[in-house]
Amino acid sequence: MSRPDLNLLITLDVLLAEGSVARAAQRLRLSPSAMSRALARLRDTTGDPLLVRAGRDLVPTPRALELRARVSQLVQDGQAVLRPAEKLNLKQLVRTFTLRTSDGFVENFGPDLIARVGKEAPGVRLFFVPKTSKDSTPLRDGTVDLETGVVGKMTGPEVRTQALFRDRFIGVVRKGHPLSRGKITPTRYVAGRHILVSRRGLDKGPIDEGLEALGLEREIVTIVGGFSAALALARATDLIATVPERHTGKQRAGMHSFAIPVPTPEITVSLLWHPRMDADPAHRWLRGCVRDACAKQRRQVSPP
- pLDDT profile of the chain (304 residues), mean per 10: 77 88 89 91 90 85 88 83 77 95 88 96 95 85 92 86 93 95 94 90 84 92 92 96 91 94 90 91 95 74 42
pLDDT of the residue at 141? 85
Measured distance CA(57)–CA(52) in Å, rounded? 8
Domain regions of the chain by residue span? 7-82, 91-152+273-300, 169-265
- 3-class SS letters over 13-34: HHHHHHCCHHHHHHHCCCCHHH
- CATH code that applies to domain 7-82: 1.10.10.10
CATH 3.40.190.10 fits 91-152+273-300, yes or no: yes
pLDDT of the residue at 131? 84
Report CA-CA distances (Å) from 209 to 27, 83, 265, 270.
74, 55, 11, 24
pLDDT of the residue at 84? 66
Q: Find the helix or strand (DSSP H, E) in which 73 lies.
A: helix 62-82
Domains 7-82 and 91-152+273-300 are alike in CATH topology = no
Nearest-Å Rg of the Cα atoms of the chain is 32
pLDDT of the residue at 303? 45
pLDDT of the residue at 82? 76
pLDDT of the residue at 206? 85
What letter represents residue 193's amino acid?
R
CATH 3.40.190.10 fits 169-265, yes or no: yes
